[in-house]
Structure 1
Amino acid sequence: MTKRSQISLGLFAALFFFSAWAQAAPKIEYKLSMPEPYTHYFEVEMKVSNLKTSYIDLKMPVWAPGSYLVREFAKSVEGFQAMDANGNPLKSEKTDKATWRIQSKKAKSVTARYRVYAYELSVRTSFLDASHGYLNGTSVFMYVAGQKKTPVTVTVKPYKEWKKVNTGLDPVPGKKFTYSAPNYDVLADAPFEIGNQREFHFESKGVKFTVAMYGKADYNENTLKAEMKKVVDACSDVFGGDQPNKDYTFIVHNLSHGGGGLEHLNSTTLQVNRWAYATKGGMQSFLSLVCHEYIHVWNVKRLRPKSLGPFDYQSENYTTLLWVSEGITSYYDELLLERTGILSKKEYLGRLKNGIGSIENQPGQRVQPLAMSSFDTWIKAYRPNENSYNTTISYYTKGSVVAAMLDLAIIDATDGKKKLDDVMLELYRKTYLKNGSGFTERDFVNTVNQVAGKSMDDFFKNYIHSTKQIPYNEFFDKVGIKMIDRNKGRQTRAYLGAMTSERGGKLTITRVIRGTSAYENGLNVNDEIIAVDGFRVNSSELSKLIGFKRPGETAKVTISRDGLLMDINVTLKADNRANIALMEIENPTDRQKRLKEFWLKKN
C-alpha cells in the first residue's frame, strides 16, 4: 500500500467515524402551534432523537431569568403524552411537580406532546388570544434533563391569519418560521411575538435593530427611530463601544395599562401605555425603559453575578448583587437620558431627588440592607404584603441612589478622571471578555477600589450591608449640589399614616406606616373608616379633617372591623415625611464646577 493510499484510507476512516458520531449526536426539535388562539392554548411537540436511554426526564422551569420568583410554570401544562418513532404510546409519569419521566426503552426517537395554557400578558410569562401570541421559553418549552447544552430547533406554525414571527433566535435558512439555538439557555432567553405586529428597523454601530409593535398606539416611527438610536448608542458608550450582538429585537406591547420590561440576550420585551408617546413625559419614560433594558445587554446578560448563570431552572438562584444588576442599571436609565439631552439637567436631578425621597420616606430602608433586598427577592420583592413597605426596600430604587453616590465618590477620589463607567467597563473586560465568567462581590469591590485608587470597602459596609443613613451632602458637595428637606423644621401638620382606597363605597385601610399615628394607635389594614370626630368621611374628607388638626391633638376615628363598629382615639403625630430638593449651591468652586460637568457630561 502506498503512503498516499494509507493517508486516503485514514481520512476515509476518520470521516466515517465523524459521520457516525454526528448521526448519533442527540437532537432536540420543537414544534409550536396555536390552532385555536382564542382558547389560550399553545400546543407543543418536542422530539428527542438519538438519546437511546431507558428513560428520559423532561422538565419545565419554575421561574423566568430576570424575574426572581418561583412561578411554577408546570401548573399550566396539560395533556402530556409520549410516543416512539412509530407513533406507539410510551409510558410516562410525573415524578415531581415539574418533571415528566418517559419510559423510552432506548428508542431512537421519542416525541412528547403537551398543551400550555397561556393567558397572563406580562413580560415574564406567556399569552395567547385572538389578537396575538407571545411567549417566554421557560413558561412553554420543557428541556431534557442532562441535555441543556444540546442544540435545538423550533418551528413555529402561526395561527392561519397571522403572518409574522419576531424573536432573537437565528432563522434556519430555507425553512420558514424555523429557528435554531445552540442550547436550551439561549432558547429560554429568546421571547417570541407571533401575529400581525407592525415592524420598523434602524441600524446603529453595526447592529441591526428590529422593533415589533403589537397593539394600537399613537407614535411617530421616525421619531422613535432617532430617539431609540440615541439611547442605544449611549448604552454602548458605557462599555467602550463593544457590540456583542449583530442584531437586536425590541418587542413592544402597547397596552391600555401597565409598563415594564425584561431583558434577554439579544432582545427585550417592553410593555408601554399606548398613549405614552404623545406627551413629553410619556416619551421620556418609554426611552428610559428602552435604556434600562438595552443596557442589560452588557450588565446582566454578559457582566453578571456568578450565581446568575448557568441557571438552575428548578430552584432559586441567590445573589446579593441585584443592586448592581438592576440598581446600577436604573441609575443609568436616567443618567444616560441626561447625557443624550433627552432629559435636561434639571429634569435628571428631579428624578434623582424623587428616588432619594422615596427611600428616605420608606420605613423598610431602616430594616432591610440593600444586599438582603437582593438575596430575599425570591420571597419578598415579588410577594409584597400590606407590611412590606415597613420592612423592605427596593434594590432598584435604593440601588440607583447608592449607584449615584458611588459614582460621585469615584469622581471625587480621582479628581474627575474616572467614574462609575470605568468600573463597569473594567469589570466587563476582565470577567466576561477575558474569562467568560461572572463576578463575585469581592470582584466588584476590588474593581471599584482599583478605579478609585483607594479603598472603598467602608462604602459597601455602610450602604450595602447595613442600614446606615446615607450622608447625601458629603457626596453632593463635591459637585456643588446641596440636598435639603423642605419639610425640616416645619412639621406643623398632623399626619395619620394610613393609606386608604375606596372599595364599593367603603373607605378601607390598605397600608399602615410604621411609626405614624395610625400605627401606634392601633388602626389596622382592612379597617373600614366610617367617620372622624363624628363626621362621615370619604378619602378627600379624611385628609381634610386630619389636616385641620395639629400634632398632639386627638381624633376619634370610627371604624368597622370584621363587621364590628368601634371608636379609636388617635393621638396625632407630626408629618415627618421628607420633602427632598436638590439645589445648586451659590458660588461653587472651580473644582466643584469641573466635577459636576464631568458627572453630567453630554455625549
Structure 2
Amino acid sequence: MSNSSIHFHLSFIEPQAHYVEVSMVIQGFDQDFLDLKMPVWTPGSYLIREFSKNLEQVQAQDENGNDIEIQKINKNTWRVNSKGQETKINYRVYSFEKSVRTNFVDDQHAFISPAGTFFYIDGYLDHASTVQVSLPSFWSKISTGLDLIEGKVNLFFAENFDILYDTPLEIGNQDTWTFNAAGIPHEFAMVGTANYDKDRLSADIKKIVEVETEIWGSNPNDKYVFITHNYLSSHGGLEHLNSTVLAASRSAYQSNIGYNNFLSLVAHEYFHLWNVKRLRPANLGPFNYEEENYTSLLWIFEGFTAYYDNIITRRCGFRNEQEYLNELVSEFNLVLNRAGRNVQSVGLSSFDTWIKQYRPDENSPNVSISYYNKGAMLATMIDIIIIAKTNGTKRLDDVLKAAYNKYYLIENRGITEKEFQDLAEEVSGISLKEIFNAVYVTEDLDYNAYFNLVGYQFIDINRETETPSLGIKVSHHDGRTVIKNVDRNSAAWVDGLNVDDEIIAVNGNRLDPQGRELDQAIATSSLGDPLNILVARDGLMREITVHLKASDKVSYVIERNPESTDQQRRLGDIWLSLS
C-alpha cells in the first residue's frame, strides 16, 4: 500500500443551510471492495452519537466520472465496489448542533468535528490522509492543529486517522492571535462576538501553560490551538491532541467570577494534553470507533483534571485562598447532596458514562454521581495525604509526572488502575489503599480527617438544623409550577408526588405564578406536618397529602482549623501555594 492515498476535500456550497460537502478520493487500494465507516463517537466525549445520521447523498464514481456501486450495509458502513481503481466518494453532512463535539455550519463560520465528517476505510485507521479546504469568498481563515503541507494553500496532512479524528477545524473569520508559552507557539481563535482583552488572556493563559508544563516536566507539542466559541450562555470544552475547543458565554470575560471560570476551563482542557491524551487508561487507545470503549478510570483522568483546573488558577494567583476553597467545596457539595452517591460508586460512574453521564433524566440525581466531581474529591485526598505524610516534600504532582514518564515517554502504553496505585505508593512512600478502595464503594471517606492534616476543617454548617422539606425541585414557567425532580426518600418520594405533576394549590390556597404559597406553607410548618397538595397529573386533578420530613441537604465549608498545629498550617500553605 506504499502508493495508496486518501484525500478529502471540504467545500461549502450552502453554509446558510448548514451543510458541508465532502469528497474522498481513494487511490492505490488493490481490493474488489472497500468498506467506508463513519465513527459512532468522538474521543473525549463518551456517548454513542451516531454521526452517520447526518450524512446524505453518498455516491461513488471512478476517475472518469462513471458511477460505481455503493451500498449501505449497516448504520455506519458503506461498501463501495472499487475493484482496485481510483474512487471518488461524494457526500453531504448536515451540521447544525452547537457543541464542542459536533459539526456546526452556518453563514458565519464552520466548525468541523472530524469524527462526524470523515470516513475511514475499514482496516486502515493507520493510513495517512490529506484534507483540502476550499474557502468561500466570504471566509478567510482556518484554525486547526493539523499540519499544513509546505508550499500548499489550505492543504493539511494527518499521519493517521487517530490524529485526523483528534484535530478539529474552525473555518471562517475568527479573531486569531498567537503567543508563546513554555517555548511553544499557541494560537487563539475567538469565534463570535465577545468583549475580551487579548493581552490579558494571553498573559494569563501563558501562566497556566507554564505551570502545567512544570507539573508534567515537558510539553509534548510544537504548536497548540485554542478554539473558543462564544454564545449567549455556555460553558464547556473538549480536549484534543494539540488543540482544544471551548464554549464560553460572551459576557464571561467581564466579571471576576466568569473570567476565572473561563481560565479554569482553559486549565482543565490544557491539562488533558498529558492526562488522558498521552498518559491514558489502557482501554482508551487504540480506539474502536464503532462501539463503546469502556474504562473505570475516568475518575483519575477526568476527576484529577477537575481537581487541577481550579488549583492551578490558585497557583497562578488568579484566585485567593477563600475563592479557591469555595470552588473546591462546591465539588464536595454537588456529590454529597445527590442521593445517587449511595447507589453508584465513582468507578461505576466511569464505566457507565456511556449510558448515564451524557443522558441525564429526572431520576439521575437519585441513582448516579459524576466522576468529575467525585474524582476531584479523591484527588484532593491523595494530594493532601501525600503532602502530609512526606512533610511537604512530595505531592500528587510527583505521581503524575512519574506516571507520564514511565507509561507514555518510556513505554508508550496505557495504564491500569493497579499500576497507577502501585506507582503512586512507590513515589510517595505511603499506602493509598483506603482511597483506592473508596473508588468501588459508596461509603464516604472521613474527609475532615484528611483536611485536618493540613490545617483545615470540613464542616457541614447545616449539621445542627432540621429544616422541613418536600424534597422536590420545581420549574416556574407560563404561570405553572411543575415538579422536575423528586429526591429519593424525601417526603414527596414517600407520599407520592411525581415528576411532571403541576402543583395547583397547597392547603386550599392556589399558587401564584412563582409558587410562593408553597414556600410559605413549608416555612410555617413543622416536621411531620401534613400538606394537602392539589396537583394536575396528566390533565386530571388529584389531592395528595404529604408529611414534611427534614431536609437531608448538606452545606459544607472548608476553612482554617483553629486547633491546627504550626506544622499542619505549614503543610496547608504548601497545599495551596500560600508560601
What's the TM-score, normalizing by structure 1? 0.94
User: For residues 390-433 of structure 1, what are the alpha-carbon distances to aligned partners after superposition, in whole Å with 9 as ceiling and x for unaligned?
Assistant: 00000011111111011112122222211110111010000000
State which of 138, 143, 148 in structure 1 corresponds to 2:115: 138
Higher gyration radius (CA): 1
Distance 1:174 1:540, change over 3 A: farther
Are residues 1:522 and 2:496 paired?
Answer: yes
User: In 1, Cα distance between the equivalents of 2:451 and 2:537?
Assistant: 48
Q: What root-mean-square deviation, in Å, do the aligned CA atoms of Structure 1 and Structure 2 show?
A: 1.2
Identify the residue that residue 164 of structure 1 maps to in structure 2.
141
User: For residues 164-221 of structure 1, what are the alpha-carbon distances to aligned partners after superposition, in whole Å with 9 as ceiling and x for unaligned?
Assistant: 0110000011211110010011011011100011111110121100000010101111
State which of 53, 56, 68 in structure 1 corresponds to 2:34: 56
User: Are the equivalent residues in 2 in contact too, given 1:338–1:602 (CA < 8 A)?
Assistant: no
Distance 1:172 1:540, change over 3 A: farther
Distance 1:541 1:160, change over 3 A: farther
Identify the residue that residue 394 of structure 2 maps to in structure 1.
418
Q: Residue type matched to 1:157 in 2?
A: S
User: In 2, Cα distance between the equivalents of 1:47 and 1:576?
Assistant: 61
State which of 481, 506, 511 in structure 1 corresponds to 2:456: 481
SS in structure 2 of the partner of residue 90 of structure 1: coil
State which of 98, 118, 130 in structure 2 corresponds to 1:121: 98
User: In 1, Cα distance between the equivalents of 2:444 and 2:528?
Assistant: 28
Query: Alpha-carbon deviation of 1:482?
Result: 0.9
Identify the residue that residue 586 of structure 1 maps to in structure 2.
562
Identify the residue that residue 421 of structure 2 maps to in structure 1.
445
Identify the residue that residue 307 of structure 2 maps to in structure 1.
331
Identify the residue that residue 131 of structure 2 maps to in structure 1.
154
User: In 1, Cα distance between the equivalents of 2:561 and 2:360?
Assistant: 40
State which of 462, 485, 489 in structure 2 corresponds to 1:511: 485
Q: Residue type matched to 1:337 in 2?
A: T
Identify the residue that residue 203 of structure 1 maps to in structure 2.
180
**Equivalent runs, 1:181-192 vs 2, <5 Å:** 181-192=158-169
Identity %: 43
**Equivalent runs, 1:189-268 vs 2, <5 Å:** 189-240=166-217, 242-268=218-244
Query: Alpha-carbon deviation of 1:583?
Result: 1.8
Q: Paired residues, what number? A: 577
User: In 2, Cα distance between the equivalents of 1:38 and 1:548?
Assistant: 56
Q: Residue type matched to 1:175 in 2?
A: K
SS in structure 2 of the partner of residue 299 of structure 1: coil
User: For residues 38-64 of structure 1, what are the alpha-carbon distances to aligned partners after superposition, in whole Å with 9 as ceiling and x for unaligned?
Assistant: 011110000111002000110000001
User: Are the equivalent residues in 2 in contact too, given 1:198–1:213 (CA < 8 A)?
Assistant: yes
Identify the residue that residue 534 of structure 1 maps to in structure 2.
508
SS in structure 1 of the partner of residue 229 of structure 2: strand
Are residues 1:46 and 2:20 paired?
Answer: no
Displaced runs of 4+ in structure 1, greater than 4 A? none
User: Are the equivalent residues in 2 in contact too, given 1:37–1:159 (CA < 8 A)?
Assistant: no
User: Are the equivalent residues in 1 in contact too, given 2:264–2:309 (CA < 8 A)?
Assistant: yes
Query: Alpha-carbon deviation of 1:602?
Result: 5.6
Q: Residue type matched to 1:454 in 2?
A: I
Identify the residue that residue 65 of structure 1 maps to in structure 2.
43
Identify the residue that residue 470 of structure 1 maps to in structure 2.
445
Identify the residue that residue 476 of structure 2 maps to in structure 1.
502
Unaligned runs of 5+ in 2: none
User: For residues 470-519 of structure 1, what are the alpha-carbon distances to aligned partners after superposition, in whole Å with 9 as ceiling and x for unaligned?
Assistant: 2111100101111111111211x211111111233221111001121111
Identify the residue that residue 82 of structure 1 maps to in structure 2.
60
Query: Alpha-carbon deviation of 1:454?
Result: 2.7
User: In 2, Cα distance between the equivalents of 1:587 and 1:63?
Assistant: 51
State which of 574, 584, 587 in structure 1 corresponds to 2:550: 574
Query: Alpha-carbon deviation of 1:301?
Result: 0.7
Are residues 1:546 and 2:518 paired?
Answer: no
Distance 1:214 1:510, change over 3 A: same
User: In 2, Cα distance between the equivalents of 1:231 and 1:543?
Assistant: 45
User: In 2, Cα distance between the equivalents of 1:541 and 1:342?
Assistant: 43
User: Are the equivalent residues in 2 in contact too, given 1:164–1:196 (CA < 8 A)?
Assistant: yes
Identify the residue that residue 310 of structure 1 maps to in structure 2.
286
User: Are the equivalent residues in 1 in contact too, given 2:378–2:435 (CA < 8 A)?
Assistant: no
Identify the residue that residue 92 of structure 1 maps to in structure 2.
70
User: In 1, Cα distance between the equivalents of 2:308 and 2:516?
Assistant: 38
What's the TM-score, normalizing by structure 2? 0.98
Which range moves more in the overlay, 44-53 or 481-490? 481-490
Query: Alpha-carbon deviation of 1:587?
Result: 4.8
User: Are the equivalent residues in 1 in contact too, given 2:471–2:491 (CA < 8 A)?
Assistant: yes
Q: Residue type matched to 1:168 in 2?
A: G
